[in-house]
Amino acid sequence: MEDPASLNYERAIDALKDVKPPTQFQFGKWRKIGESGLKKIAILRVASPQTRVAALRSLEYSQDLEYLVDRNPSDREIQSTLRKHGIRFHNAKTPRIRWILSNNLTNTINEVEHLSGRSLADERKARDRIKDIIPGMGLKTTSDFLKDIGFSKYLAVLDSRNLNFLKEYDLAPSWITQSHLSRKKIYYYLEEVENELAKRLGITVSELDERIMTITGSERPHKL
């Protein structure tokens, strides 16, 4: 008799194997997009907690994001821009964005570049380092940032949509809720499940995330 866990993985694989995401993961992307691109993506990530995806896409597709990076806006202008696009807790997020605008992210990524694409354990070290450096970054937002700049192959971007997908195919316990994702032990457990699923599909975890996002939502694809 086949292992029930294997059957659950097979069901999830059947749901994902033919999915074609509108946004394709590009490993090594950070080398091409430069400092300006890194800052734009980092701003979107620190703006993301407790904010609807539609609001983030509004900022991402606007000229306002260009303005934040290319000019030297005041804190008041940053707050106004975030409020305009429906970014929640704009006052708390403004100093985090100010930090991004005032620091060199290329140097920050270069410090951990040797860990990129090596293994889950190595990329976790890189994530911890970035999370400690950039204000406002947590496990999920740092993973999302590193995926979006093409740095990571093994880090999972775990939010309610990923969790619900895993639970739908009995790859995550039913008692785990979105609030549990802030717990490192649970995040690591689910991240290992996604790594196993990605391995069976023959893709990276970053590519897996794009497929899950495609079948669980209808937002515009990333512009950056």
Taking only the tens place, the pLDDT of each residue in 96-132 is: 999 999 999 999 999 999 999 999 999 999 999 999 9
pLDDT of amino acid 86 = 94
Angle, helices 120-133/139-148, rounded to nearest 10 degrees? 110
CA-to-CA distance for 118 and 114, rounded, in angstroms?
Answer: 8
Taking only the tens place, the pLDDT of each residue in 186-213 is: 999 999 999 999 999 999 999 999 999 9
- The 3 state secondary structure assigned to the chain is CCCHHHHHHHHHHHHHCCCCCCCCCCCCCHHHHHHHHHHHHHHHHHHCCCCCHHHHHHHHCCHHHHHHHHCCCCHHHHHHHHHHCCCCCHHHHHHHHHHHHHCCHHHHHHHHHHHCCCCHHHHHHHHHHHHHHCCCCCHHHHHHHHHHCCCCCCCCCCCHHHHHHHHHCCCCCCCCCHHHHHCHHHHHHHHHHHHHHHHHHCCCHHHHHHHHHHHHCCCCCCCC
Residue 25 φ/ψ, nearest 5 degrees: -70, 130
Take residue 117 and report the two structure tokens written for it. Answer: 């694409």
Contact 224, 41 (CB under 8 A): yes
Taking only the tens place, the pLDDT of each residue in 54-105 is: 999 999 999 999 999 999 899 999 999 999 999 999 999 999 999 999 999 9
The yes-or-no verdict on residue 34 having pLDDT over 70 is yes
Contact 42, 105 (CB under 8 A): yes
What mean pLDDT is reported for the chain?
A: 93
Take residue 196 and report the two structure tokens written for it. Answer: 């196993």
pLDDT of amino acid 220 = 66
CA-to-CA distance for 108 and 88, rounded, in angstroms?
Answer: 27
Q: Is the pTM of this model over 0.85?
A: yes
